[in-house]
Amino acid sequence: MKKALALLGVTATLAVGTSASAQVVWEDNFDSYETGSAIDGQGGWEPWEGSTLVSTVSDTQARSAPNSIEITGADDLVRQYTDYTTGVYAYTAWQYIPGEGSGAISFILLNNYPAAANPDWSVATTMD
């Protein structure tokens, strides 16, 4: 998958009852990780199945200081949520895409992973 530079911060929210009573059940702004470290293996993050590319914790741009994730080139980053199988969820993700970026950047939510096991791309949004 062709990608340009993207910096990502993620929050997931579980809606309980009405949207007015939603509570945060998981979030990650990457600020607790060491700047410059590989995110793979930290906080439940992993590379795309079979990939050897590594996304790094960066302080170049951040929605909340100091960190975000830098995803470059053909890199992909996966976070599985095995504890959330029923209910209604709101998922928010922030991406910084620099003006000099080229190619396409996708944000994808799958409801079946790994990809080799009949993936179902529930949401696929591409920015180019």
Residue-wise pLDDT tens digits, 81-127: 888 878 888 888 888 888 887 788 888 888 878 766 777 788 888 88
Neighbours of 127 (CB within 10 A): 14
Asked if residue 97 lies in contact with residue 6, where contact means CB atoms within 8 angstroms, the answer is yes
Does 128 reside within a domain? no
For the segment 22-51, the average pLDDT, to the nearest whole number, is 90
Q: Is the pLDDT of residue 1 over 80?
A: no
Q: Is the peptide bond before 66 cis (omega within 30 degrees of 0)?
A: yes
For the segment 6-33, the average pLDDT, to the nearest whole number, is 64
Domain hosting residue 35, numbered range: 6-100
Does 109 reside within a domain? no
CA torsion, ordered 38, 40, 45, 51, to nearest 10 deg: 130
Does 113 reside within a domain? no
Does 66 reside within a domain? yes
Q: For residue 49, how far is the Cα from the chain centroid?
A: 15
Does 51 reside within a domain? yes
What is the C-alpha separation between 52 and 2, in angstroms, rounded?
15
Q: Where does the pLDDT of residue 19 fall: very low under 50, low under 70, confident under 90, or very high at 90 and above?
A: low
pTM for the complete prediction? 0.77
Does 127 reside within a domain? no
Structural domain count of the chain: 1
Does 96 reside within a domain? yes
Does 12 reside within a domain? yes
Two tokens, residue 122: 């529930």
